[in-house]
Amino acid sequence: MGVKHAREYEDILVELKDAMHSIGDGYLFFEMETSEWEELGEAERLDLMEALADDVFYALGEDPVLRVGQGVVTYRPKHHIIEVSVDEKESRIIRLI
């Protein structure tokens, strides 16, 4: 199926990367240990979050709800958005159009 979008993919990816980074333990999606994450520099962490955002974007085309660490990422095609529930208090909305 795939995630349908009208915005530039690169723009969506930037917002999704920031949302993934906000989750805090999103690296668990890659089955990394906390100690491995803590050894990374900030640039490496951001690169990893970009890879995570890319993987999540394409995975949402197959499964519209994904757990990423303590967060939940939901593709809502009727509303043309991706919702990232960072925690119980914060959600980020990424517009696809």
Strands across the sheet with 71-76, in order?
Answer: 65-68, 71-76, 81-85, 91-95
Average pLDDT, the chain: 94
DSSP annotation of 90? -
**Tens of pLDDT, residues 27-44:** 998 899 999 999 999 999
Strand bridging mode 65-68 / 91-95 = unpaired
Of 58, 90, 57, nearest to 71 (Cα)?
Answer: 90
Cα separation, 97 vs 80, whole angstroms: 6
pTM for this predicted structure: 0.90
Q: What value does the mean pLDDT take over residues 51-66?
A: 95
